[in-house]
Amino acid sequence: MNENDLVELDIENFSNLGYGIARNDGIVVFVEGACPQDKVTAKITKVNKNYANAIIKEVLFPSPNRIQPFCAMQKVCGACQMQFIDYDYQLKLKKQIVQDAINKIGGLDIEVKDVVPSPETKEYRCKIQYPISQTKVSGRILAGYYKPQTHEVVNIKHCPIQPSICDEIIEFIRNKAFDFGISGYIEKTHAGDLRHVVMRVSKSTGKVLVTLVTNSKKVFERLEDFAKCIYEEFEKVSGVCVNLNPKKTNVIFGDETVLLAGEDFVEEKLLNKTFKIGADTFFQVNPKSAENIFKYVKDYITDNFEEPVILDAYAGMATIGICVSDCAKKVVSVELNKQSCEKARQCLKTNSIENIEIHNFDTAQYLKHTKRKFDIIITDPPRKGSTKEALDEFLRLGKKELIYVSCNPATLARDLKYLCEKGCTVKSIQPFDMFPHTYHVENVAIITLPQS
C-alpha cells in the first residue's frame, strides 16, 4: 500500500479523533469522513510504519447511521467532524471512545455510562471565534473557520450550530469594514487590521458581546467608529470591545482589551446563579449542557454529603464552585488566571454568596503549601489533565471523594490509572455531550479516595 493508492475499505470502528478505522493488508487505516459500517473507496494520503491515513473518494455502501449533514459547509469547514452521522449513533460512538480510553490507556475494567445528550444540537455554541482574512484580488473580507490542517479561512455565511444572530453580525462586519477603512489580516505578511471576531452569546438573555481582535498596539479613531456602528446596528449586542494583539502569534487574544461601546460582559444563568462573562473569560461553550454537568455534580453531593468542605481546583471563574455552594459548608476555589478570579469575585457579589474563598494561585502550588483537608475535591483541569504532583496533593488533602471533570478521555484515563495505583476506587464515569457533531466528549468521574 502506497500513497495515492485507491483501496476498498470496510469501516470497522471509530477513533478518538473522529476517523473511521479500517484494515488493509494488516495495516490500520484511519479514514477521514467515514462511519462504522461504511464500505468505501478511499485514497491513501499517508503511509507510516504501523498505520495509514486516507480520504474517501466514494461511499459504495453507506452505513445505516450515515445521514445528510444539515450544513452545506460540513466537508470543507472541519468544525463538525461527525455531522454526517445520526445523533443517537454519535452518542454511542462517544461512549465507545471513552470506554476504549478507560480500558486501553487506563487499563481499568470500569463500565462507562451512556452519554447524556446535549439539550440542543443546533445553535448550541455560544462562543464563536472567527479568524478574519482578506482576498488578494477582490479584497473581500473573509470570516469563518480554518480548513482542516491549514490556516486557510473558509468564508462561512451561515453556521447552524451557533445562534443565528452571529451570522447577521459577521455579515455586517464583512460588508461595513471597508466603510471605516478596516482591512482583514494577512497572516503571511502580518499586515491588516482585523485578526479575529469573537462573540459571546447569552442563552439566558440573547445578548451578544462582540470583541474585535486587531493587529494594533492602540485603539484608533476608525476602529472606535466601527465598534460604535456595530453596537448601534444590533439591539442584541450588549457591547463591543477591542482586543489589541500586534504580536506574530497563533494566540487569539493579546494582553489588553478595551471597551468601546455598551457593556463589557453578557450575563448567563446556570442553576439559578448569574454569571457575568467578559471578552476573554473562560466559560462553557454550551451552557445548557454545562448546566446538566453541574446539576449532576450538585445532585451527587446533595445526596451523599451534609455540608461538606469542598475544594474547587483549576476553578476558572469558580463556575462549578458557585453552582454547588448551596449544598456546601465552605468552597475553596483555586485558579491561576487573575482575570478569572476577579470575575469569580464579582459573581459572588452578584449572587450574594458568602461561603466561597477565591485564591489566585497555581493549583499544585496552593495544595503543596496548605494543610487544610477537604471532604470533596472537584477538579476540572485543562485538556492535558492533572500533573502527578497535583494528584498526589489531592490524595494527601482529600478526606472522602474526588470529582474529576474532564474534557479529554485520554488524559482522564491516564490520571485514573495513577489514582487507582495509589489506592483509589472509581465509582462511576458519566459522559456528557458538550459539543454535538464533534468527537469531543466531557466526563465526570466519581472517585473514592483511600482512607488514611
Q: Considering 71, 80, 407, 420, which one is annotated as catalytic?
A: 407
Residue entry with cell 462511519: 35
Please report, for residues 310, 326, 376, 403, 445, the alpha-carbon distance to residue 305 in angstroms, rounded to integers and kept in the order given: 11, 12, 9, 13, 17
Region of residue 307 (phi > 0: left; psi between -120 and 50: alpha; otherwise: beta):
left
Round to whole Å and give the CA distance between 356 and 444.
Answer: 22
HSE at residue 434, side-chain half, CA atoms within 13 A, is 22
E strands, 86-207, where? Answer: 127-134, 141-146, 153-155, 194-201
Coil/strand/helix, residue 87: helix
Q: List the one residue out of 333, 329, 352 whose CA is nearest residue 341.
A: 333
AA identity, residue 177? A
Q: Is 407 a catalytic residue?
A: yes
3-state helix, strand, coil in the chain (%, to 5): 25, 35, 40
DSSP string covering 3-20, please?
TT-EEEEE--EE-TTS-E
DSSP string covering 414-428, please?
HHHHHHHHTT-EEEE
Q: At what angle do helices 409-421 and 388-397 cross, to 10 degrees?
A: 50
Strands 39-47 and 51-61: antiparallel
Reading the block at residue 159, the C-alpha cell is 453556521
Burial-class residue 67 by CB neighbours within 10 Å (0-12, 13-18, 19+): middle
Contact 408, 433 (CB under 8 A): no
The catalytic residues are 407
